[in-house]
Amino acid sequence: MDHNFSRSRFLAGNAGHRAGLVGFILVIFFLGVFILWRDLIVEHMERMRPVSMQEQNFRFKETLRKVDRVCLPDVLSLRAHEASLPQQNEQNARVGRFVRFQSQHHWGIGFNNLWLEFILLAAIAERSNRSYVFRDLVRAGGVVPPDGFDDTRPQMFADKSISPFTGMLAGPVAGGSRDKMDNTPLAVSFDWYEKVACPPDEIRHIDANEIWKKLAIPKRVTGEELVEIWANLLKNTPERCVDVEGRRAIH
């Protein structure tokens, strides 16, 4: 009888320990759930809170300071890279064919829109068998002096209103190499095109507004059709150097 009583007390004690352990685990679990939900609610309320212009400017400046801590190339390094592209040589300056889209956006809209336009215009240049001419970008809120910026001082491009194109993009659209079997003309920089390859008296100026009227391009033309229209026009233009101008962009 004593043996059964002791066994009962032992089992009861184990059951009490198990119940206590389960209770402790449940408390920890619900405490974690509470903390998680509290953080999510606080984060949601923070996002929904109206943000003043002063606070937006502060956040933007903080972002720039964080960017400055990253090992980004300085303006001088980017300029040197753009000036040393192998396709920017004496022979290409004599016989190469180029197109510079003066009507191309390079400021005032989001980078995603700029990127799409770069790809579209580079595709037109590629199909017309011409080198695409890339240009500098202007950071939001930046004001570009008439004669440009002085790049004699090494400085992070995030600190300036102007950003070299190759600081934002790479690959063929920024003068990068292609497959060895691909003979498509490589992109060149705005400076090299203007100062070396194409003197002002050798540049053919095409008004995009007039082309839209002359070719009677329909308003509901597809993207593929529009690229082919402009590619054929540029391919059949005899001059080596072409500037596409006008207030109306190609697309």
Based on the fold, state whether residues 173 and 196 are members of the same structural domain.
yes
Do both 79 and 65 map to the same domain? no
Any domain includes 208: yes
| Ramachandran quadrant class, 203 (left: phi over 0; alpha: psi -120 to 50; beta: rest) | beta
199 and 218 in one domain? yes
Same domain, 50 and 100: no
Q: Are 164 and 204 in contact (CB under 8 A)?
A: no
**Is 96 in the same domain as 187?**
yes
Split into its structural domains, the chain has a count of 2
The answer to whether residue 178 sits within a structural domain is yes
Q: pTM for the complete prediction?
A: 0.63
Mark whether 92 and 153 lie in a shared domain. Answer: yes
User: Does some domain include residue 251?
Assistant: no
| 231: in domain | yes
Buried b (16+ CB within 10 A) or exposed e, 202-240: ebeebbbeebeeeeeeeeeeeeeebbebbbebbeebeeb
Strands (E), the chain: 98-101, 131-134, 137-138, 162-163, 188-189, 203-207, 241-245
Q: What's the domain range around 198?
A: 75-245
pLDDT at site 243? 94
Do 198 and 98 touch, CB atoms closer than 8 A?
Answer: yes
Same domain, 41 and 156: no
**Domain contains 103:** yes
Tell me, yes or no, whether 250 lies in a domain. Answer: no
Provide mean pLDDT across the span 229-235.
92
Residues 62 and 100 in one domain: no
Extract long-range pairs of 167-174: CB within 8 Å, 24+ residues apart. 167/72, 167/73, 167/75, 167/78, 168/111, 168/137, 169/115, 169/118, 169/134, 172/122, 173/118, 173/119, 173/122, 173/132, 173/134, 174/134
Percentage of the chain beyond pLDDT 70 is 65
Pick from 54, 69, 84: which residue ends a domain?
69
**Same domain, yes or no: 158 and 203:** yes
User: What DSSP state is assigned to residue 191?
Assistant: H
| Least confident window among 48-62, 124-138, 163-177, 194-208 | 48-62
Q: At what angle do helices 111-127 and 223-235 cross, to 10 degrees?
A: 50
Residue 249 has pLDDT above 60, yes or no: no
Q: Which of 28, 53, 69 is the last residue of a domain?
A: 69
88 lies in the same domain as 194: yes
Token digits of residue 162: 């102007």
Give domain status of residue 199, yes or no.
yes
Residue, of 182 and 44, whose pLDDT is higher? 182
pLDDT higher for 49 or 81?
A: 81
How far apart CA 250 and CA 70 sit, in angstroms, is 37
Final residue belonging to a domain, choices 39, 54, 69: 69
Higher pLDDT, 99 or 217: 99
- Asked whether residue 197 is assigned to any structural domain, the reply reads yes
Whether residues 240 and 139 fall in one domain: yes
Same domain, 79 and 202: yes
